[in-house]
């Protein structure tokens, strides 16, 4: 299985990079994983609704340019379906069973995802109703993907 994580913005914090590198290395025995960063749109603090939509649309165009037609896309969104680690494991397992060998997770920027990206997604997923910085979400998602593969392999890591 091929897993791709598309995230908006460049990861700067060393501790986040190190954590993602560790889980990426661990995932190597389960899947091929790729992390893709797309540039975030620079924007001032106080944006109007129209300006926020424009920022999300520009970032959305960059995200969609990195997604191929055959990819199963999961949008990480606070309003998405609330899932457990076991739920994620089942979804990845179902993708494999149904021939969807390329799964792409999308994490939006600080303003979220554009409607065009959400529309392209095959599903919307949430790890909770809390707001996480999008950089931290990359680490959490990478760990949860690793946990899902461990669950599907019958290992006890997830306990």
Q: Is 19 annotated as a binding residue?
A: no
Q: What gap in Å lies between CA 145 and CA 85, rounded to an integer?
A: 8
Q: Is 7 annotated as a binding residue?
A: no
Q: Is 132 annotated as a binding residue?
A: yes
Q: Is 127 annotated as a binding residue?
A: yes
Q: Is 149 annotated as a binding residue?
A: no
Q: Is 120 annotated as a binding residue?
A: no
Three-state SS letters, the chain: CEEEEEEECCCCCHHHHHHHHHHHHHHCCCCEEEEEEECCCCCCCCCCHHHHHHHHHHHHHHHHCCCCCCCEEEEEEEEEEECCHHHHHHHHHHHHHCCCCEEEEEECECCECCHHHHHHCCEEEECCCCCCCHHHHHHHHHHHHHHHHHHHCCCCCCC
Q: Is 131 annotated as a binding residue?
A: yes
Q: Binding site residues for S-adenosyl-L-methionine, as ranges?
A: 108, 127-132
Q: Binding site residues, as ranges?
A: 108, 127-132
């Amino acid at each position: 299985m091929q897993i791709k994580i598309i995230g908006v913005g460049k990861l700067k914090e060393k501790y986040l990079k190190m954590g993602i590198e560790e889980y990426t290395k661990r995932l190597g025995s389960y899947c091929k994983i790729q992390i893709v960063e797309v540039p975030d749109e620079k924007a001032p603090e106080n944006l109007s609704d129209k300006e926020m939509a424009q920022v999300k649309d520009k970032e959305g165009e960059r995200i969609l340019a990195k997604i191929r037609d055959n990819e199963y896309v999961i949008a990480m969104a606070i309003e998405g379906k609330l899932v457990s680690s076991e739920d994620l494991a089942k979804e990845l397992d179902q993708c494999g069973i149904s021939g969807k060998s390329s799964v792409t997770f999308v994490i939006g920027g600080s303003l979220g995802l554009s409607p065009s990206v959400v529309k392209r997604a095959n599903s919307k997923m949430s790890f909770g109703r809390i707001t996480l910085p999008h950089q931290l979400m990359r680490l959490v998602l990478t760990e949860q993907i690793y946990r899902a593969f461990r669950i599907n392999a019958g290992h006890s890591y997830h306990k």
